[in-house]
Amino acid sequence: MLLAGSASAQFTSLTSTGDGSRLYFSSPLRLRGTTQTFDAKIFRIDDQGPALFAAQERGERFGWTWTQFYDLTLPQVSRDGTGVIAYTGVRDCLGGSGCLNVQRAQGTVVDAAGAVRLRGIGYVNLSRNGRYALFFGRNTWAGLVPPAELADLGTGEHITLNYRIAPNAARRVADEGTVALVDPAGVRLWTRNREQVIPVTPAASMPGQEPLLLLASDAMRFVYQSAAGLARFDRMRGTEEIVTPGAPVSVSISDDAGTIAFVNKEDGQIHVGIPARVLTREPGGFSEVALSGDGRVAFGVTNRGRLVRIEVASGTVTELVPRTPWITNPALPGVATYLED
């Protein structure tokens, strides 16, 4: 049971284990009977139902911001589901130009019980095997921190990357530590031993926003938004294929990028595969989709506030959270909407 209390979307940043048995997501909602904050939190859903995984109070006002990074978003889970989870905490800053030297985001890596393994300034991406954490989207004012940093959770090594990655990047680090970057010459694949630039051009959906670029866990494929549409590049074959023309609302890949799912902008439905087929017939459509690592399960957030699980082979839909209204004016004290299981 969840209680609505934010103008934000009910569920965002879906991420699943390899077999689809466990789902993590971000939401400002709170469980019925609790006094949890209405800032974004990380929830988990498995066969035991929904549970709060991580939450953070704002702390004290500190200059133009707060002492804590309180809006928790962008969870990622290792494919085994029992090893490593990462998420990013974001805090607001109300000082205008005074915020130029304020770090807005902090990445956290924890174990399955929520115990902190590593924290770093900036947003964080996690490799699907849970070994590497990439920190980026930092405020590098006065050169106090490098633009990006790759942490090897196995050895404890930290490697500075002198490349800038904007905050909305996802799936940028592979299992062996390859990092995918958008370069003026194309897609740059960085490893500690060599760098390769593939002359394809990811397109940003908005000026100043990081272009969509999703790297497979073995780094042999990547999916990106090109001028011709959503595309997949296969490094072994040296070939590019168009998944769908236009720019989808939401895109997700299986671990090997063999399966691609997206929310079609035209009909609002989830499509899957190459050539793409329509997977859903949801009234009102979807806002987000996420695939399990093996590509057999899709999770979707509907525009009417439902969270569902979909079997990719059959199209069978299972409701995880029913239709969920939310408050559009959280300034009204004492107003809330209860949700029934």
- The answer, yes or no, to whether residue 332 has pLDDT greater than 50, is no
For position 61, what pLDDT does the model report?
Answer: 94
- The answer, yes or no, to whether residue 337 has pLDDT greater than 70, is no
For position 249, what pLDDT does the model report?
Answer: 95
Q: What is the pLDDT of residues 253-293, one digit of tens each?
A: 999 999 999 999 999 999 999 999 999 999 999 999 999 99
Q: Which of 271, 322, 258 is nearest to 298 (CA)?
A: 271
Structure tokens at 5: 């209390």
Describe the strand order of the beta sheet including 30-31 as a list of residue ranges. 30-31, 2-4, 337-338
Residue 131's SS3 state is coil
Beta carbons of 186 and 227 less than 8 angstroms apart: no
pTM: 0.92
- In angstroms, the CA 271 to CA 157 distance is 40
User: What average pLDDT does the structure give for the chain?
Assistant: 91
Residue 96's SS3 state is helix
Query: Would the CA dihedral through 307, 106, 81, 152 be positive or negative?
Result: positive
- In angstroms, the CA 52 to CA 294 distance is 25
Cα→Cα distances 44→26, 39, 131, 189, 290, Å: 9, 16, 21, 32, 14
- In angstroms, the CA 99 to CA 26 distance is 25
Run of H or E including 62: strand 61-62
DSSP string, 166-219: -TT--S-B-TTS-EEEEETTEEEEE-SS-EEEE------SSTTSPPPEEE-TTS
Q: What are phi and psi of 322, to 5 degrees?
A: -70, 180
Task: For residue 329, give the amino acid letter.
Answer: N
For position 82, what pLDDT does the model report?
Answer: 78
For position 163, what pLDDT does the model report?
Answer: 96
Going by pLDDT thresholds of 50, 70 and 90, the confidence category of residue 120 is very high
Q: What are phi and psi of 99, to 5 degrees?
A: -90, 0
Going by pLDDT thresholds of 50, 70 and 90, the confidence category of residue 162 is very high
Q: What are phi and psi of 97, to 5 degrees?
A: -65, -20
Beta carbons of 304 and 9 less than 8 angstroms apart: no
Structure tokens at 65: 């911001």
Residue 53's SS3 state is strand
Q: What are phi and psi of 19, to 5 degrees?
A: -100, 5
